[in-house]
Chains A and B, each alone.
Chain A
Amino acid sequence: MDLLIQTLINGLILGAGYALVAVGLTVIFGTLHIVNFAHGAFFALGAYATLLIERAGAPYLLAIPLAVLCVAAIGFALEATIVRRALYDQGEHGSIIVTFAISQAIVAAIILVVGPDPLPVPSPFGQTAVSVGGFFLSAQRIFIAAASVAVLAGFALWLRRSVKGQQILAVSQNARGALYSGINVPLIRSLSFLLGIAAAGLAGALMGPMISAFPTMGDANVIVAFTVVILGGLGSIGGAMLGALVIGLGNALFETYVSVSWTPALGWVLVILVLLLRPQGLMGRAQLDRH
């Protein structure tokens, strides 16, 4: 029983971390209609930016926002030079290839600049564990969960309450309708891309101390994020959060009770099943015009 509760707690915290990556992915899909295969690379950039800023002397808590700014700046540059030209309204196969190429270029650049070896990302929470009612939690995990819940709640509130947030929702519902209503669609798309990338960077900065920084660290995470996002319904933000918790719990349970070495296949099998059985996801609406 204790093992089960410990596993469930770990799963929920894991899920909170996944949610951050997944929400970024789903916001980008919702407004730009591209699946950002480079998401994992921005996740890695977030961890490396944190690491480099910390090396320059900044404390971890200050390094996180700075790292997110750095990743957002890189995302902005890519958006303005490549994404905007190559992707908008141009069939899916181009966007898949371009985002994949961006991802490979970023990973190769990280290897060339920083090196291929895993590097620890220092964090004041370190490896200390906190005992809560007899269950052990690492302080870093609690921090990850708290930070992602706070950021996601803030983001959800911002989407509901602010004009820009409403415009993002409008564009993801119907880009042409939004355009006719006087919404600056290209601006909203750029903004969504930036927000999505920044969320990936933040996730990298938060998860870095736990899994340490290595160039392909984003791969495993973005695969999970795909699962989460598809499970929740591509483009659905609430679905992404719910999907993240489901996957976090599922992974933790599978790892504890079935097999660690087969866990990577679990996410894939879930993705495949969801896409085949319920392509609109748990909370997404069925698309009328699938093209």
Chain B
Amino acid sequence: MTDITTGAPAGRARGGSASLKGAGLLALGIAAALAAGFGLGGDPFLLNLAGYTCGFAIFALSVNVMLGGLGEVPLGHCMFYGIGAYAPAMAMNHAGLPYEAGVAIGMVVAALIAAPIGWLTLHLTGAYFSIVSWGLSGVAMVTALNLDVTGGPLGLFGFSRLAVGPFDLSRPQTYFFVAAAILLAVLVVLYHVRGSRFGRAMEAIRQGPHLARSLGIDVFRERLKALVLSAPIAALAGALSLPYTQIVTPEVMSVLRTVDALLAALIGGVGLIFGPAVGAVIFTILPQFLDLDPNVKVLVFSLLIILVMVAAPGGLHQLWKAAAARLSHARKGDAP
């Protein structure tokens, strides 16, 4: 899987030009968000979906910290997403706390749970790590099904007020702008993380854990940091899904949610910092406009992902690059 590295340099911070490029991308993101927010006009359904997509993109980014960052497949990441969705729901319905407090609690809890889980499981790699991770989310789902505080199989619903400060998330346009702003903030954070010492250590570990260790990198600690970084981001994404779903059920921790995020990350490109976000948009918006049956959607995207993995493990943009390279090669061949 070394091919992924070919996609990496695009998003790497190195010197002034890179941070300038980062600022440019950020401006582009803000412009896109504003255009989408006002361009979608008054259609509340599309705006809500767009808000939800931003949340989903955040989840894909969180999953990609593990996938693109460490080269692990965190099948159980949906657990942190579920914690993030359940925390504000429980805070509002049982404790009478506001939504923001619940979101903050969820993120803290996710990080606190991630630390011991990581400490126990991150010694495992590859399929072993994926299976244990999946297993933990399975246990979490069964727990949510069986407890009373989580509302059992029916879940929690009927939330009092979904708002962040003065911004009322039950208004679709506000929801979208808040979600988009948080998405951009997460992107900025991850961009800086990637350029940091920690980010470069992760990249070294992904390319070769043994070599990284020989260079003095504490592999286990960096892997642990990556999980503890990504868990609250996943929780944030889960919390942001509430205004769209209006309900939390144990299904929120279904492994299929992680798989969706993995697909989004892979389509967008795991080596690119904004790849997962682009993939998330493709993954949710495209089927909406094509009016696909959900099962056709799963079939199409599964086949697409197989194609990506077989032909372009770094993301769809690799196909484009390969085609461009072949084209320019062919032209050169013709010239003399």
Contact = CB atoms under 8 A, between A and B. Distances in A.
Interface of A: 34-35, 82, 85-86, 90-98, 100-102, 104-105, 107-109, 111-112, 223, 226, 230, 261-262, 264-265, 268-269, 271-272, 275-276, 279, 290-291
Contacts of B266: 97
Contact of A92 (B127, B139, B143, B298): B127
A97 B135 contact: no
B305 A97 contact: yes
Interface string B143-184: 101100000000000000000000000000000000000000
A96 B142 contact: no
Interface in B3-45: none
Given A94-B313, A272-B132, A112 B299 contact: yes
Given A265-B138, A272-B132, A276-B121, A101 B126 contact: no
A230 B313 CA distance: 28
A65 to B, nearest CB: 29
Contacts of A223: 138
Nearest to A110: B295
A90 B1 CA distance: 6
A220 to B, nearest CB: 10
Interface string B288-310: 00000101101100110110011
B142 A264 contact: yes
A97 B132 CA distance: 16
Interface stretch (B67-75, B99-107, B235-243, B271-279): B67-75
Contacts of B124: 275-276, 279
Q: Which 8 residue pairs across A and B have the least CB separation, nearest first? A: A92-B126, A105-B302, A35-B127, A91-B1, A268-B135, A265-B142, A108-B298, A108-B299
Contacts of A107: 298
26 contacts: A35-B130, A86-B306, A91-B71, A93-B1, A93-B72, A93-B126, A96-B75, A96-B130, A97-B73, A97-B266, A98-B306, A100-B259, A102-B302, A104-B299, A107-B298, A108-B298, A112-B295, A226-B131, A230-B131, A265-B142, A268-B142, A269-B135, A272-B139, A276-B120, A276-B121, A279-B124
B64 to A, nearest CB: 12
B131 A93 contact: no
Nearest to A112: B295
Given A90-B1, A96-B73, A291-B125, A271 B131 contact: yes
A269 B73 contact: no
B109 interface: no
A93 B71 contact: yes
A82 B309 CA distance: 10
B294 to A, nearest CB: 9
A91 B5 CA distance: 14
Contacts of A111: 295
Contacts of A276: 120-121, 124, 132
A268 B138 contact: yes
Listed residue (A85, A92, A97) with the most chain B CB atoms within 10 angstroms of its CB: A97
A82 B266 CA distance: 17
Nearest to B66: A93
Interface of B: 1, 67, 71-73, 75, 120-121, 124-128, 130-132, 135-136, 138-139, 142-143, 145-146, 256, 259, 262-263, 266, 293, 295-296, 298-299, 302-303, 305-306, 309-310, 313
A228 B303 CA distance: 29
B131 A35 contact: yes
A22 to B, nearest CB: 14
A270 to B, nearest CB: 9
Contacts of B142: 261-262, 264-265, 268
Contact of A104 (B1, B298, B310): B298
A279 B295 CA distance: 37
Given A92-B127, A105-B303, 9 more contacts: A92-B73, A92-B126, A93-B72, A102-B302, A104-B302, A105-B298, A112-B299, A272-B132, A275-B128
Contacts of B67: 93
Contacts of B131: 35, 226, 230, 271, 275
A264 B145 CA distance: 11
A101 B295 contact: no
Given A97-B266, A112-B296, A268 B136 contact: yes
Given A91-B71, A111-B295, A97 B262 contact: yes
B170 to A, nearest CB: 33
Given A94-B1, A265-B139, A86 B309 contact: yes
A264 B120 CA distance: 22
Contacts of B263: 101
A234 B259 CA distance: 24
A291 B132 CA distance: 17
Given A35-B127, A108-B295, A93 B135 contact: no
Nearest to B123: A276
Nearest to B135: A268
B299 A101 contact: no
Contact of B135 (A35, A109, A272): A272
A93 B127 CA distance: 7
Contacts of A264: 138, 142
A94 B307 CA distance: 12
A101 B301 CA distance: 8
